[in-house]
Amino acid sequence: MLQAGQQKFFASFFQKRRSSLLALRDRLVSRPDFRRWAARFPLTRPVARSRTSELFDLCAGFVYSQILSASLELRLFDVLAAGPLGVADAARRLGLAEAAARRLLDAGVALRLVSRRGGERYGLGALGAALVDNPGLAAMIAHHRLLYADLADPVALLRDAGETRLSRYWAYRPEASADDVSGYSALMAATQPMVADEILDAYPVGRHRCLMDVGGGDGAFLAAAAARAPDLRLVLFDLPAVAARAAARFESLGLSARARVVPGSFLTDLLPRGADVISLVRVIHDHDDSEVRVLLHAVRAALPADGVLLLGEPMAETPGAARMGDAYFGFYLLAMGSGRPRSAAMLTALLQECGFAEVRALATSTPMLARVLVAKCKS
């Protein structure tokens, strides 16, 4: 068994060796003559080609996203869902010239959105099929036009984000009107079912008496929870204009008798008491650390001694989804004007700082969409 001093020595030794090897790699790969040699040498050729392909995909990513956007706007996947089509028939259904339709279909084949079905016929690809009857994902893809416009000059955004299209879109203000919140409320309602399934599959809320969803939008998450737990009482807390939309949703679903809607801002107002579990679904990463601390303290004050906090959102440093956490959300939230991606470890530290203990991470089916942390009130 190594002593603590020995462990520290070996850790430092291997870290220095790793740093030296990485520095050597960087010097070699930075040399044009080495890159040419690596592209020809049989043992390094696959790696060189892979790196070249990765760099090109980073450059071409915007083009790929626009092909996807055009396909959705033209309802290409719905058209092909009825069965494979030739170019002429597809062009007529899409309202395009045949040359343009062929260009879009061939691009879709390259991106696995579309597949060739023999001769000149095209059908759904593996990725395109997943977009049929998937309004949440379609709404999210369409929403990205705002982000792409804000990223037109990424250096300017990094230096001074200022007011952006996304910051105007996400109107998180107590005085926001119904028109101000209609856009993002509709988007959240369309995309929330995907996230709700991930969270509710990981954590059975039926073990509780009352669930309060803070920042719960128009009630999509609570509606999903109500379907799984018929005896669960529900409380939704959100800005007044958003809360009004939730009340209308609950009434339309026949949930008014068991669902209460409380308007307010969690940054300035006390949260109502009575719930033994409080959920924060895609809320924390939208806010800066100072606001997160205010929110978590408010949640802790509203919970009883045996209360539970249920936190679900995409997280940084997620295995297999690191690009989504740090690269995508890092810049999306920059354009939005608040918040940042946080790892499970960072969130755990914030929870412990704000009065929670026994923080557990629960497995979800699609961690890229949401990971789940459950925390108990610190005694």
Please name the helix (run of DSSP H) or strand (run of DSSP E) that holds residue 211, with its range, or none.
Answer: strand 210-214
Q: Per-residue pLDDT for 279 more than 90? A: yes
Residue 83's pLDDT band, with cuts at 50, 70 and 90, is: very high
Q: Give me the percent of the chain exceeding a pLDDT of 70.
A: 95
Q: CA angle, corner 22, sides to 21 and 28, nearest 5?
A: 90
Residue 47's pLDDT band, with cuts at 50, 70 and 90, is: confident
**In whole angstroms, what is the distance from residue 340 CA to residue 325 CA?**
9
Lowest mean pLDDT among 28-42, 120-134, 340-354: 28-42
* Per-residue model confidence as pLDDT tens digits over 214-273: 999 999 999 999 999 999 999 999 999 999 999 999 999 999 999 999 999 999 999 999
Q: Per-residue pLDDT for 1 more than 60? A: no
Residue ranges of domains in the chain, CATH in brackets = 45-129 (1.10.10.10), 136-377 (3.40.50.150)
**In whole angstroms, what is the distance from residue 138 CA to residue 87 CA?**
24
The confidence score (pLDDT) of residue 4 equals: 67
Q: What is the mean pLDDT of residues 265-284?
A: 95
Residue 288's pLDDT band, with cuts at 50, 70 and 90, is: very high
**In whole angstroms, what is the distance from residue 229 CA to residue 181 CA?**
29
* Per-residue model confidence as pLDDT tens digits over 167-195: 888 877 766 677 777 887 788 878 888 89
Q: Per-residue pLDDT for 198 more than 70? A: yes
Question: Does residue 249 contact residue 306 with C-beta atoms inside 8 Å?
Answer: no
Q: Give me the percent of the chain exceeding a pLDDT of 90.
A: 65
Q: Per-residue pLDDT for 101 more than 70? A: yes
Q: Per-residue pLDDT for 160 more than 70? A: yes
The confidence score (pLDDT) of residue 2 equals: 56
Cβ-based burial of 352 (10 A; exposed 0-12, middle 13-18, buried ≥19): middle
Residue 3's pLDDT band, with cuts at 50, 70 and 90, is: low
Q: Per-residue pLDDT for 165 more than 70? A: yes
Residue 344's pLDDT band, with cuts at 50, 70 and 90, is: very high
According to DSSP, the residues that pair with 277 across neighbouring strands are: 211, 308
Q: What is the dihedral of CA 23, 29, 32, 35, to 10 degrees?
A: 150
Question: Does residue 377 contact residue 303 with C-beta atoms inside 8 Å?
Answer: yes
What does the mean pLDDT of the chain come to?
Answer: 89
Distances (CA, A) of 181 to 245, 334, 363: 10, 20, 32
Q: In the Cβ-directed half-sphere of 28, how many Cα atoms lie within 13 Å?
A: 11
The confidence score (pLDDT) of residue 364 equals: 93
The winner for highest mean pLDDT among 12-21, 49-58, 277-286 is: 277-286
